[in-house]
Chain A
Amino acid sequence: MPLIKKKSKVSDEIPTSSMADIAFLLLIFFLVTTIFDRDQGLQVVLPEREDAEVDVPPDNLLFLLVQPNGSIVVRRGESPQTQTITHRQVQGVVRQALQANPEVIAAVQTHPEARYEDMTNVLDGIQLAGARRFVLQQLQE
């Protein structure tokens, strides 16, 4: 055994004073990087069951018939004329119809075999066009 005591100036303890700071930095890092799953989407209020059928003048109806292949057939009121468009044109068509007649109601009638996304695309276009009144229905054959 050596008689001379070792006089090291290096502390033999782990510095603990900054541990809290390190822990807080980690905490803040995880707080910032966490993405919460927010509930977002297209909001709709369904019609009540007891609602009496409201008679809407056919001129105020804009039918958007969503086909199984994703195309949309537009029919205005009772006019026999139809027009086939893609979902990107929905916004323009609805906006035009609203300018011509602010009372217009967009009636989305979706084919049972059509994809869900085709319906949400049309709904998206309607909401982007600023239409407040619309109906969601299943296309009857």
Chain B
Amino acid sequence: MKGMGIMYDAIIIGAGVVGCAVAQQMAKYGGKLLVVDRMEDVADGASKANSGIVHAGFDAHPGTEKARLNVKGSKMYGALARELGVPYGQPGALVLGFSEEDRETLKKLLAQAEANEVEGCRIIERDEILEMEPNTNPEVVCALYAPTSGLVSPYEMTCALADSAAENGAEFSLANPVLEIKPTSDGNWLVLTERDEYKARAIVNCAGIGSGVLHNMISTRKVKLIARRGEYYLLDHMADIPFTMTMFQCPTKMGKGVLVSPTTHGNILLGPTADDIDNGYDVATTRKGLDTVMDKVRLTWPKVNLRQVITTFSGIRAHEENGDFIIGKVEGAPAGAYEAVGVESPGLSAAPAIGQELGDEVAAFLGLEKKADWKKPTPLPRAFRNMTDAEREEAYKKDPEYGVLVCRCEQVTEAEIRAAIRRPVGARSIDGVKRRTRAGMGRCQGGFCSPRVMEILCEELGVSPLEITKCGGESKLLVGTLHQIAKEARPDEN
């Protein structure tokens, strides 16, 4: 229990995009900060497996926290992404209508857009849709056009926020699940984790799907979080990208429906489904779910080709049964308890706003002042794959390991992989390297590069290949040396 006695000003529980945004904001103030998470890396829950859309804000009901924070957050994205050097774009979105009934839904969305002060939305007709996006199903009737809809790489955003927080003194304790939070007799908070226990003047619960259980430990108003799983297909990048905008279908009460969207890296994402499940950590994909995605996608994009699929995945939305975010002071709890609970879509869009508001609120509670020596984030360097030849020459001159291509599919160099491991909150696993560099994210899915990535992790971390994991915990890639396993099988032989 080495943490016993260490007193933090604030402990942030959950290192997803919301937790890291809160941490980044709070690190602008003096104060001793700790971020804890159950997973071995940041962004290892909902933040790594979602649509990566920065929603314009027409979907959320006016007057809700979702609507307010979505619109505020999405307006912050451009500047924040630039500051952090994270891939971001604003290609716009279409919500497709295939009937006059759908047109009524679109009109309601347009009215919401106006109420939420989302700029530039309008309803457009078939010809204009097909001119904008020629691969759209020609049976389309009309669409809501939202020019401010954006795209971000959610895990890269989270990693960059975490780095900025860490560069300004925030500590991270990963692979350390929180078991219990409770107020202490001296007016502080105790955070019990699997590895340790910590004290803090304030706690901020940003634990995603786990936030409901923590909330209910300390609040007088109980909440119920529903784990709503969404399954996706990811398609390879193609020479001619079939859609430049995010293509939604009309929303249902289960969510925004199945979309077809480019990603910031030029892939195409298809999904998600929306299935309520019992185990909030079960991110398996299912035949039924994947088939559902494909069926629904064909309405938007009849010519979708399964041969372009490079992977499938699923993510969990933490849906609060009343449908809105719960942000701020924990109701009925002693002073110093804050939270962001029920942060499902548009949570990624809202994250910068949640981070700013909640970070400022907790700092004010703690009586902290903005630090004079706060270090501005170091923007992530341009990826080798996006460099011009001249930039590649320059990069090579500074670091000859830019000359070694480790991941051929995504053109990731050894220099970039080493840098990802050396970042303030660095990669510790194959997936950690993948999220930060895209090595292994391409069409061969790490078939060629994972042995080399493993070697580089070993060199950087000073561990044996037998210690390297795919994603922490027991996800080890190798089970033993040839000799060890042969010996186990035939103990009598030499």
Asked whether A and B interact, the reply is no
